[in-house]
Structures are given as C-alpha cells and as structure tokens.
C-alpha cells in the first residue's frame, strides 16, 4: 500500500502564527522541528500534516491554487484577495477590526478646499470598495506595512488598517473614523482537495473543531517551529 502524502497546511507568519501553533499543539500536530528553525516546510509531529510557513497575505494564494490543501488566514486577507476557498471554521483568535483612521486634526470624511484625500493601506481593494460605497472619491496608496506612519510624513491624509488593542494608532497620534470590517482567523480549504481527500479533511476539521471549543490547556507548551 502506498503511504499517503500528508495534507499541506499553510500557516501565516506574523501575529497569527503563535495562536495557530498553539491550536496545532492542542490537536497533537505541532511542528516536528526545534523552535527557531528557518525551514519553511516541516512535518507535524503526528505525521498528518506538512506545515508550510508563508506571509499572511500569501495563504489564500497557496490554498486557492492547491499548492496547500488547507490554511489559516485572517478574513482581512481573504476579503482583500477574494480567494475562492472554503471557510469551514472560525478559529476564535486574531479578532480585530479594519478601520479608517487619521490624525485628529485632519478632517474626515472630506478635506477642505476640495482636496482629494489620499489613503494609505495594505488593503487597496477593500479600501476602494469602501469609499466607492460611501461615495467619497479618494486616491489609494498601497504600502505593505507600518501604515500608521504615512499621515505623519504626508504620504497620505488617512489610512485603512487593522486595529487590535488600538495602541499603534494611539502611539502615532491617529484616531478611528469608521469601521470597514470585523476580522478574525479562519480555516481555509482548497475546494478540489476537499473533494478528493474528504476523509482526511473531515478528520482534521473534527479535531480542530474540538480544540477550538475546548479551553486552553494550562502548562508548558513544548518548543514548536517558528520561522
């Protein structure tokens, strides 16, 4: 009998990684490599998964294409990329909001003198669509991080970014103006893989569902791979 290749699970590096690895540890599928490895593809300790570490915005790309069978992604990148993937389970972490923010002294929702507002963001599609719906003409400027600094340097008047604790906005003198989207981490699944390997997907989903509903296990969590 031929041994089956394990399902490939795309994990987002960054702030969703730690809770994602904690969830895998809870189902007994932690990374098999010591903490601190730079390997980007490692088997899980129970052999049921291949763990792939990628940038958060790339998880939908890997899963939609089938390069990964499953993934963990924020609904922010999923809505931005409009990825055609299944979303069978909300994972209960990574909750935050996508908002419009600006310096307190910069007017919103219109600027004086008929100036077209410039909006810096990592989410150009969602930003365009939000302002199109509200009927405000803006110029969207795409950046890939540290968005909060854009108004301080005159790159933009407003920003669209995620807010969790609110500290980054506060520390950079920005105030919230409008909420665009409630965000959270979800399990994403490639449509074709789900059909072809139904049983394996169902088993993984069942294990994750139980883990998501159970309280955090107290005590020390062994070292896990974290590129």
- Matching residue, tokens 């005590």: 219
Helix (H) or strand (E) holding 67: none
Q: What 3-state class would DSSP assign to 109?
A: coil
- Rounded-to-integer distance, Cα 59 and Cα 55, Å: 7
Residue closer to ligand PRP (CB basis): 158 or 201: 158
Instruction: Please pick, from the candidates 168, 177, 205, 226, the single residue that binds ligand PRP as defined by CB under 6 A.
Output: 168
Instruction: Please pick, from the candidates 83, 163, 180, 224, the single residue that binds ligand PRP as defined by CB under 6 A.
Output: 163
The answer to the question of residue 145 lying near ligand PRP (CB under 6 A) is: yes
The answer to the question of residue 14 lying near ligand PRP (CB under 6 A) is: yes
The answer to the question of residue 165 lying near ligand PRP (CB under 6 A) is: yes
- Matching residue, tokens 């309280």: 215
Residue closer to ligand PRP (CB basis): 71 or 74: 74
Q: Contact at 8 Å (CB) between 19 and 93?
A: yes
- Rounded-to-integer distance, Cα 114 and Cα 227, Å: 47
Residue closer to ligand PRP (CB basis): 2 or 165: 165
The answer to the question of residue 162 lying near ligand PRP (CB under 6 A) is: yes
- Matching residue, tokens 């540890």: 25
The residue with its CB nearest to ligand PRP is 145
Q: Which two tokens stand for residue 124?
A: 């150009």
Residue closer to ligand PRP (CB basis): 130 or 194: 130
Whether the bond into 109 is cis, omega within 30 of 0: yes
# binding residues, ligand PRP (CB under 6 A): 14
Q: Summarize as ranges the residues that interact with ligand PRP (CB under 6 A).
A: 14-15, 145-148, 161-168
């Amino acid at each position: 009998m031929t041994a089956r290749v394990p399902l490939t699970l795309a994990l987002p590096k960054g702030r969703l990684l730690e809770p994602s690895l904690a969830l895998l540890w809870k189902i007994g599928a932690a990374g098999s490599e010591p903490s601190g490895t730079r390997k980007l593809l490692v088997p899980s300790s129970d052999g049921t998964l291949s763990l792939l570490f990628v940038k958060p915005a790339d998880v939908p790309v890997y899963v939609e294409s089938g390069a990964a069978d499953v993934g963990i992604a924020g609904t922010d990148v999923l809505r931005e990329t409009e990825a055609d993937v299944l979303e069978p389970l909300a994972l209960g972490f990574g909750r935050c909001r996508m908002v419009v923010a600006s310096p307190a002294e910069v007017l919103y929702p219109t600027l004086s003198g008929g100036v077209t507002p410039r909006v810096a963001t990592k989410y150009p599609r969602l930003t365009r669509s939000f302002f199109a719906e509200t009927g405000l003409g803006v110029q969207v400027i795409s950046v890939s991080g540290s968005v909060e600094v854009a108004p301080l340097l005159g790159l933009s008047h407003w920003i669209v970014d995620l807010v969790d604790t609110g500290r980054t906005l506060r520390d950079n003198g920005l105030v919230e103006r409008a909420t665009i989207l409630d965000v959270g981490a979800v399990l994403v699944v490639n449509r074709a893989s789900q059909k072809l390997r139904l049983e394996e997907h169902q088993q993984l989903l069942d294990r994750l569902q139980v883990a998501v509903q159970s309280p955090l296990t107290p005590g020390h969590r062994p070292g896990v791979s974290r590129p």
